Amino acid sequence: MRPGRVQRRPARTAGRASAGLPYITDAELSAALTTAKGTEARAWLGEVSAVILQQSVADLNTAYRRFFDYRKALREWKAAGRKGPQPREVGLPRFKSRKDRRQAVRFTANSRFRVLPGGRLRLPKIGDVEVRWSRDLPSAPSSVTVIRDSAGRYFASFVVRTGPGALPAVEPVVGIDLGLAHFAVLSDGRKIASPRFLRRAEHKLRRAQRSLSRKQDGSRNRDKARVKVARAHARVADARREFHHQLSTALIRDNQAVAVEDLCVKGLARTRLAKSVHDAGWSAFTGMLEYKARLYGREFHRIGRFEPTSQVCSACGVKDGPKPLHIRAWQCQACGMWLDRDINAAVNVARAAGLAVTAPWSAGKTRT
């Protein structure tokens, strides 16, 4: 089971809750699972490794504990007069389905999975599996999760132990202004073009989706067409993720501190720019910056979304007021400096985070 928004609570949990009994323990669930495997109706549970079933039970307990912790925190937040940030919502766990887009099983060390010398992966009750390795494992894995995505591709995700990977300290710091015309504009004047992966693949996606809509429900041809659509979307998602990884790694490697603006992506996704906003993937990119900064010993700053970064002149600090989106360069009425809207915003993002940056026009690099 996994978190999700549903209206129905599983019968076992609902019955214990209505009777005033505590939530069923891990030991009770494990014993019930063992008993079920001995029955004729549940004999198929013995066809897979017992570790997989125990890991599913552990995931079930984790999901319910998170749900109940959220409900408790929500009650306390309301009792305190709704002061402070509202607890992050966690939905009631729901049953997995064989029709879910993502399927996964996890093997721990107790299952005795092995990475063979030839590069194959030996999984209990499955056998030896050919693996196309993306990198060498730095240490012996403690667990492996086998994932099947909607496109029918299989991935093996290993948990390994690694040492601290802090990078040598560097002097540069940078502010980043995210946008649509340019994916990112940096406070040093550089502009990163927006790849627009979804827009470029729209024609192929449209043809694949049209072909799918013409297939009969339940037919094998419809299943084949569905996989084609899923693979087309997977290629777009993979290209976008690779772009985010390469850019975020370069920014973290070359700068000691990085500052971005906390954009309201949900709000922007309700406008006519929704497709372009989702295509950019700002949230995924800033999430990569944050975890890579923590991993490599860099500083990451996220400034408030209401900071007037596009209204303040980075040369003299005077607030010049809001401007329509079609104005990409403007002249400060106080000092007369001509400013590039996006570069000026990136400089102000860095300064709002307390980073000492020099505007490109102050250094004579650009004036527009």
Element (H, E) at 143: strand 143-148
Q: Tell me if residue 342 is catalytic.
A: yes
Q: Which of 52, 152, 149, 48 is nearest to 105 (CA)?
A: 52
Write out pLDDT tens, residues 173-229: 999 999 998 999 999 999 999 999 999 999 999 999 999 999 999 899 999 999 999
Pairing status of strand 173-178 against strand 257-261? parallel
Q: Please identify which of the residues 188, 279, 340, 342 carries the catalytic annotation.
A: 342
Which residues have CB under 8 Å from 233's CB, separation 6+? 150, 151, 205
| pTM for this entry | 0.80
Confidence of residue 121 (pLDDT cuts 50, 70, 90): very high
Q: Tell me if residue 261 is catalytic.
A: yes
- Looking at residues 117-145, what average pLDDT do you find? 93
Contact (CB, 8 A) for 65 and 72: no
Question: Which tokens sit at 95?
Answer: 């049953």
Question: Which tokens sit at 247?
Answer: 């850019």
- Looking at residues 68-94, what average pLDDT do you find? 91
Q: Please identify which of the residues 76, 100, 177, 299 carries the catalytic annotation.
A: 177
Confidence of residue 114 (pLDDT cuts 50, 70, 90): very high
Q: Please identify which of the residues 188, 261, 279, 340 carries the catalytic annotation.
A: 261
